[in-house]
Amino acid sequence: MDIQTLIREIPDFPKPGIQFKDITTLLRDPAGLSYTIDLLAEKVSELAPDFVIGMESRGFIFGAPLAYKLGAGFIPVRKPGKLPAAVHSIEYELEYGMDRLEVHQDALHPPDCKILIVDDLIATGGTATATAKLVQQSGCNLVGFAFVIELKDLGGRERLPAVPIISLVQY
């Protein structure tokens, strides 16, 4: 199956010149969604993560079923103020400002936990890099990254730590 044929491009969204990669068309296709999760699981299984981390919100869509498929736990990384217990947080730079991500303090248990970070897309790598820093600060072992889509020209892969990086579709 060619996953790329299930991803719709929306021109000039959210601003002129951007070719937005819309995964909603992939998500609504039962065979395409199943194939995507199965393929991600196949490509990351040798990393044997204890936990899959997905970033709000599209990382949840792929991260939770991937964790299930791998027999791993799922840990959400959220925007500020969304998690009810004590959190670790990290501030990171966006193209036009700053943002922050948070994870429950009791979610990560070093030193033996192995973490896989999953998201729908890697562009500049800012969110994935910030999430990796949260994992590293916890003392857990980051074993890799998995993305459905990689926008290669934006160089996000080069900003990430030196662990395996899997992407299913490259633009």
CA 53 centroid distance within chain: 7
Task: State how far the Cα of 97 lies from the Cα of 153, in Å rounded to an integer.
Answer: 22
Catalytic option among 9, 56, 95, 159: 95
Pair of tokens at residue 117: 């970070």
Look up 8 and say whether it is catalytic. no
Considering the candidates 28, 46, 56, 58, report the single residue annotated as catalytic.
58
Angle between helices 58-70 and 30-44 (to 10 degrees): 60
- Tell me the CA distances in angstroms from 31 to 36, 98, 111, one per residue in order: 9, 38, 38
95 is catalytic: yes
Instruction: For 14-110, list the strands marked E by DSSP.
Output: 19-22, 51-55, 73-77, 87-94, 97-104
Catalytically annotated residues: 58, 95
